[in-house]
Chains A and B, each alone.
Chain A
Amino acid sequence: MIDLFEAYHNVIDLCLLNSVLAYGCFLLLGVNLFSLATGGLMAIGAYLSIWLTMQQGWAFAPALLAAAVAASLAALGLGSLVLRLRGDYFTMATLAFTEVVRIIALNWNSVTGGALGIFGIPKLAETWQLALLLVLVIYLVWAVRSSGIGERMRAVAADELAVSTAGYDVAHFKLAIFTVSGAIAGLGGGLAAHLNMFVAPGDFGFLRSFDTVIAPVLGGAWNIAGPVIGATLLTVLPEALRFSAQMREILVGSALLVAVLFLPTGVASLPTVLRRKWSI
């Protein structure tokens, strides 16, 4: 067991981290928001926390807290500008945000090390911290979704007009959720930065945003376990397929396609689907 952990602790860390991040998008998908801002928000959390631990001598915990606060403020600002956009336009605007942050990171050499990135970041993030954070995030998301707020989220996803004529400000509500998801992304960014000893602007681009939002969709956007399942699959699958270098991307893509086609409500629905099939 310990050998297994030693051999794969890198993958385990990534699974935990990606799962935490996926819950940020899970919350947003709950109110029909498909956001690609995760990469940009993570970058803000990552670079701020690196700057604080490496150049300002802060301890890890307050640096992480600062990362979460900064990214949630960025999400608050971004959200108040782009949440009025509908559907695809919202997604495009959040993608543009991620690109803008990446380009700033590419050119702000004194803080981000430019295109070369930052080397020798202290490895402060431990597996147990990631696991604890994941448990905490799952609990919080569960508590919110099983309360009246969760019902309001489902209502906003189904019919915004019904919610606003019932006396609740939908724009305000979405902004609050976007801000919370920003805090999760910032926290994830700070952890990611202190996990690998190296960070470059490309780590927080389009692909990062896309993987994070795909994880809950793949795992099940309506199931509380969906993000963990999706993020774990998306992290483990490419590692497991390492033996076939060229085929890897094709195989990962095919696996996703099969999952989406046959399990449209996510991998989390597999037991239900199987049970239904066998009982007939």
Chain B
Amino acid sequence: MSSFLQVNQVSRLFGGVAALLDVSFAVSTGSVTGLIGPNGSGKTTLMNIISGVDVPSAGAVLLDGAPIQLLPSHTLARRGVARTFQHIRLIPDLSAVQNVTLAMHAPAAGPLDILLRLPRLRRVETERRSRAVALLEQVGAGHHADRPVGDLSYGDRRRVEIARALASEPRLLLLDEPAAGMSHGERVALRALIASLPGLGITVLLVEHDMDLVMGVCDELHVLNQGTAIASGKPDAVRANPKVIEAYLGVEDA
């Protein structure tokens, strides 16, 4: 497997505080890669940098070998990087379908179609809608298609947000704590959904605290602690790594 995404010695300083320091790792094409670490270890900061929401203070991010660390998020979305947020960012008074179509790039109605309400507008809208409904069904929220997302449960909103990320037809999907607020049953379904994505040509980078989910679905793990990468490898190896145990549980006094 070749490395699709490469994070090269990335640092991010906020004033004098280093949220990330010299972090390097690679994500292989078609893998589900987990990014774990205690709260405040820099996971979300790294997600922000990879998705173009934030810019690193030093270092580079390569997508397919090309540097992307200075590109804005809307350009990256067009290049195939989509994401969800730890704090869900849906538009509450739009319906689930409307939220999903928000991220579709094609087909698009032109200005003339819209201003003159040409037949093409209807066709485009019908096609976008049916694709959105299909995506909502794929994530298990098809029955909520026309409800305002503000009325949905937390778990359903998470699913709608994943559907929106999928709507931009990503090659790389960044999921920031997708299981937060989900019930056990929802987590099981989420795990199956994530596991199905590589088969659709989507590489996944997953930030998650639910260790059952992470260990069950990830091919590879990278562990951050206080802004530095402390371990990488297969889930089982990472779980047994003393440094990781120390970071999560603290070190015993000698």
A contact residues vs B (CB 8 Å cutoff): 140, 143-144, 147-149, 151-152, 154-155, 158-159, 161-170
Q: Do residues A164 and B72 form an inter-chain contact, with CB atoms below 8 A?
A: yes
B contact residues vs A (CB 8 Å cutoff): 51-53, 72-75, 77-78, 82-83, 89-94, 98, 101-103, 105, 108-109, 114-115, 117, 121, 125, 128, 164, 167-168
CB within 8 A of A166: which of B77, B108, B109, B115?
Answer: B77
Cα of A162 to Cα of B92 in the assembled complex, Å: 12
Cα of A166 to Cα of B52 in the assembled complex, Å: 12
Cα of A60 to Cα of B103 in the assembled complex, Å: 44
What residues of A have a CB within 8 angstroms of the CB of B51 in the complex? 165
Q: Do residues A143 and B115 form an inter-chain contact, with CB atoms below 8 A?
A: yes
Q: Do residues B77 and A167 form an inter-chain contact, with CB atoms below 8 A?
A: yes
Interface centre among B77, B83, B121 (most CB of A within 10 A): B77
| Given A147-B109, A164-B74; A155-B115 close (CB under 8 Å) | no
Cα of A159 to Cα of B78 in the assembled complex, Å: 19
Q: Do residues A162 and B91 form an inter-chain contact, with CB atoms below 8 A?
A: yes
Q: How distant is B126 from chain A, measured CB to nearest CB, in Å?
A: 12
Q: Do residues A148 and B101 form an inter-chain contact, with CB atoms below 8 A?
A: yes
What residues of A have a CB within 8 angstroms of the CB of B168 in the complex? 166-167
Q: Do residues A151 and B105 form an inter-chain contact, with CB atoms below 8 A?
A: no
Q: Do residues B74 and A170 form an inter-chain contact, with CB atoms below 8 A?
A: yes
What residues of B have a CB within 8 angstroms of the CB of A140 in the complex? 115
Q: How distant is A29 from chain B, measured CB to nearest CB, in Å?
A: 16
Q: Do residues A167 and B105 form an inter-chain contact, with CB atoms below 8 A?
A: yes
Main DSSP-derived SS at the A contact region: helix
Q: How distant is B149 from chain A, measured CB to nearest CB, in Å?
A: 11
Q: Do residues A161 and B114 form an inter-chain contact, with CB atoms below 8 A?
A: no
**9 nearest A-B residue pairs (beta carbon):** A167-B77, A166-B103, A162-B89, A147-B114, A169-B74, A164-B74, A158-B91, A155-B91, A164-B73
What residues of B have a CB within 8 angstroms of the CB of A149 in the complex? 114
Q: How distant is A150 from chain B, measured CB to nearest CB, in Å?
A: 9
CB within 8 A of B109: which of A148, A158, A163?
Answer: A148
Interface centre among A158, A167, A170 (most CB of B within 10 A): A167
Contacts beyond the supplied A143-B117, A148-B114, A165-B77: 4 A-B pairs with Cβ under 8 Å: A149-B114, A165-B82, A167-B168, A169-B74
What residues of B have a CB within 8 angstroms of the CB of A167 in the complex? 74, 77-78, 103, 105, 168
Q: How distant is A241 from chain B, measured CB to nearest CB, in Å?
A: 37
Q: How distant is A244 from chain B, measured CB to nearest CB, in Å?
A: 42
Q: Do residues A154 and B91 form an inter-chain contact, with CB atoms below 8 A?
A: yes
Q: How distant is B133 from chain A, measured CB to nearest CB, in Å?
A: 16
What residues of B have a CB within 8 angstroms of the CB of A144 in the complex? 114-115
Q: Do residues A161 and B89 form an inter-chain contact, with CB atoms below 8 A?
A: yes
What residues of A have a CB within 8 angstroms of the CB of B98 in the complex? 151
Cα of A47 to Cα of B83 in the assembled complex, Å: 49
Task: Return 17 A-B CB contacts under 8 Å, by A number.
Answer: A144-B114, A144-B115, A147-B114, A148-B101, A148-B125, A148-B128, A151-B94, A151-B102, A152-B102, A158-B93, A162-B89, A162-B90, A162-B102, A164-B53, A164-B73, A165-B74, A165-B82
Chain B, Cβ-Cβ closest to A149: B114
What residues of B have a CB within 8 angstroms of the CB of A161 in the complex? 53, 73, 89
What residues of B have a CB within 8 angstroms of the CB of A165 in the complex? 51-53, 73-74, 77, 82-83, 89
Chain A, Cβ-Cβ closest to B161: A162
Chain A, Cβ-Cβ closest to B116: A143
Cα of A158 to Cα of B89 in the assembled complex, Å: 9
What residues of B have a CB within 8 angstroms of the CB of A162 in the complex? 89-91, 102
Q: Do residues A155 and B94 form an inter-chain contact, with CB atoms below 8 A?
A: yes
What residues of A have a CB within 8 angstroms of the CB of B101 in the complex? 148, 151
CB within 8 A of B93: which of A147, A154, A170?
Answer: A154
Q: Do residues B164 and A166 form an inter-chain contact, with CB atoms below 8 A?
A: yes
What residues of A have a CB within 8 angstroms of the CB of B93 in the complex? 154, 158
What residues of B have a CB within 8 angstroms of the CB of A155 in the complex? 91, 94, 102
Cα of A147 to Cα of B92 in the assembled complex, Å: 18
Cα of A175 to Cα of B144 in the assembled complex, Å: 34
Chain A, Cβ-Cβ closest to B125: A148
Q: How distant is B176 from chain A, measured CB to nearest CB, in Å?
A: 11
Cα of A143 to Cα of B109 in the assembled complex, Å: 12
Q: How distant is A138 from chain B, measured CB to nearest CB, in Å?
A: 13
CB within 8 A of B114: which of A143, A154, A166?
Answer: A143
What residues of A have a CB within 8 angstroms of the CB of B114 in the complex? 143-144, 147-149
Q: Do residues A166 and B91 form an inter-chain contact, with CB atoms below 8 A?
A: no
Q: Do residues A158 and B105 form an inter-chain contact, with CB atoms below 8 A?
A: no
Q: Do residues B115 and A159 form an inter-chain contact, with CB atoms below 8 A?
A: no
Q: How distant is B101 from chain A, measured CB to nearest CB, in Å?
A: 7
Q: How distant is B142 from chain A, measured CB to nearest CB, in Å?
A: 20
